[in-house]
A and B are shown apart, each in its own frame.
Chain A
Amino acid sequence: ETGVTQSPTHLIKTRGQQVTLRCSSQSGHNTVSWYQQALGQGPQFIFQYYREEENGRGNFPPRFSGLQFPNYSSELNVNALELDDSALYLCASSSSLGSRGYTFGSGTRLTVV
């Protein structure tokens, strides 16, 4: 059984650019959530995807968007990057909507300069 894998592990982008982060959910998991963790803070919920549809969203602007694919893998896209977008982005998968057994990935460290 494989866990949640995220790619890339690190990347550096320039303010104003766009970035795509990827997540492969754990085998058998169909629900994916994305979190942003700024330095010294706890993770903050961005949004959740279930059966390829966005199921709910935290307090993040529309330039944060996502996709979920038929194999339940997911992407997080951020447009018009700002310096404050520098953070660790975590992906978490669960076996179904309402399941509380979240498995987290190791994260992607994004630095915006």
Chain B
Amino acid sequence: AQRVTQPEKLLSVFKGAPVELKCNYSYSGSPELFWYVQYSRQRLQLLLRHISRESIKGFTADLNKGETSFHLKKPFAQEEDSAMYYCALIYSGGGADGLTFGKGTHLIIQP
């Protein structure tokens, strides 16, 4: 069965410092990996997906199949990055397109 692990419940960094939110997954097959973000009082929204290989709001994430990781990184944190971040994967091979989420990491950027 697929599983997503986000080891940090809370991560606090200072503005301007680098940020790395960790995500590890277990899955037998070819998963698609995503990062979702939820800002205070807003809905869950897609931040980025590994297939797109794009940078959104300065964030990037590289899928490392050898380490089964999909860590989210940003070189210089900004206060508006404070939010709840969820790593998720999807089974791509028939059946339902249900996302499997990690428990989330609460990122706090201190001024």
Contact = CB atoms under 8 A, between A and B. Distances in A.
Given A100-B49, A104-B45, A106-B43, A42 B102 contact: yes
B54 interface: no
Contacts of B51: 100
A42 B104 contact: yes
A72 interface: no
Contacts of A35: 99
- SS class, residues of chain B in contact with chain A: strand
A61 interface: no
Nearest to A49: B96
Contacts of A55: 95-97
Contacts of B45: 104
B100 to A, nearest CB: 7
Instruction: Indicate the size class of the contact surface on chain A.
Output: 20 to 34
A102 B99 contact: yes
A56 B46 contact: no
A35 B51 CA distance: 23
Interface in A71-109: 90, 94, 97-102, 104-106
A45 B88 CA distance: 11
Interface string B40-63: 000111100101000000000000
A82 B44 CA distance: 26
A47 B103 CA distance: 19
B66 interface: no
Given A100-B34, A104-B44, A56 B99 contact: no
A105 B43 contact: yes
9 contacts: A42-B101, A42-B103, A43-B101, A45-B96, A45-B100, A48-B98, A55-B96, A100-B90, A104-B43
Interface in A36-59: 40-45, 47-48, 55-58
A57 B97 CA distance: 9
A43 to B, nearest CB: 5
B97 A98 contact: yes
A17 B103 CA distance: 29
